[in-house]
Amino acid sequence: MPFLIVLCALLGLAIGSFLNVVIWRVPRGESVVRPPSACPRCGNQIRNRDNVPLLGWLMLRGRCRDCGEPISARYPLVEAGTAVLFVAMALRFGFDSELPAYLYLCAVGVALAMIDLDVQRLPDALTLPSYAVVAVLLGLSALQHGDGSRLLRALIGALLLGGFYFAVWFVYPKGMGFGDVKLAPTLGAYLGWLGYGVLAVGAFLGFLFGGLVGVGIVLFKEGGRKTKVPFGPFMITGTLVAVLVGRQLADAYVSATLG
């Protein structure tokens, strides 16, 4: 297990570094492969030694080596945050074949959450291919376990959560973007794979987190009822929390209400 934790931490840092490129370029329709990363002020290409996840930013003290332009602290935070999530999933699933699927959830979730915060949009370039990726990764895990019921549950979860979000969007399209509807089946598949109780917890937490932040904005940021708040980050956060502790939360709720 220590080997797996270290491996996932290093992998998370590396993927987090790539996600910073994805977060910046995908909403602008730019390639995530070319050209190499460069300073937006002076245009000089970032050197390989400065591209080391987390350490590069620290060694540069948060500034471009050539022109001294400040480098946002969000870059190392995305890298560190991705590493933390990868470690959390390693602790949750261990060496199980489910792990790659849930590492992908963390990676695409971080990218989509940050993009939604930046531009209030969930790009099709990330949401739609995730259907195929999730189907393959969970399908391979189902084959390894010899348990088709999990895959069926994932499919039902995708249909239920996707259908629910579509109904909410259909009834009140101004209150929810269609990108949220496109994201919901992916999250529903991950939650349904773990059980219907986890699915319910994940769906509920997304709205709970969104509601709490919405109330906070109204009370403390002078926002109004028409203030737009991207909902994708709350959907993703609710799903990640439910993946990690959803079963315990569902059991606690059942125990408290039904004894």
Q: Could you give phi then psi for residue 27, rounded to 5 degrees?
A: -60, -20
Please give the model's pTM, rounded to 2 decimal places: 0.94
- Structure-model confidence comparison of residues 1 and 201, the more confident one: 201
pLDDT tens string 183-233: 999 999 999 999 999 999 999 999 999 999 888 887 776 655 566 789 999
| Lowest mean pLDDT segment, chosen from 37-41, 73-77, 165-169, 242-246 | 37-41
The DSSP letter of residue 35 is S
Q: pLDDT tier at 174 (50, 70, 90 boundaries)?
A: confident
Among the listed residues 178, 192, 185, the one whose alpha carbon sits nearest the alpha carbon of residue 161 = 185
- Is residue 71 a contact partner of residue 79, using CB atoms and an 8 Å limit? no
Q: Could you give phi then psi for residue 26, rounded to 5 degrees?
A: -60, -45
What local confidence, expressed as pLDDT, does residue 109 receive? 98
Q: What is the DSSP string of 64-129?
A: -TTT--B--THHHHHHHHHHHHHHHHHHHHTT-TTHHHHHHHHHHHHHHHHHHHHHS---HHHHHH
- Structure-model confidence comparison of residues 74 and 40, the more confident one: 74
pLDDT at 93 over 70: yes
The DSSP letter of residue 175 is G
- Residues 152-177 as b/e (b if ≥16 CB within 10 A, e otherwise) read ebbbbbbebbbeebbebbeeeeeebb
Distance from CA of residue 197 to its chain's centroid?
21
In angstroms, rounded to a whole number, what is the distance separating the alpha carbons of residues 52 and 46? Answer: 10
Maximal CA-CA distance, the chain: 65
High-pLDDT (> 70) share of the chain, %? 97
Structure tokens at 240: 């990640």
Structure tokens at 147: 């348990």
pLDDT at 39 over 90: no
Among the listed residues 17, 9, 15, the one whose alpha carbon sits nearest the alpha carbon of residue 90 = 9
pLDDT tens string 114-151: 999 999 999 999 999 999 999 999 999 999 989 899 99
What local confidence, expressed as pLDDT, does residue 46 receive? 87
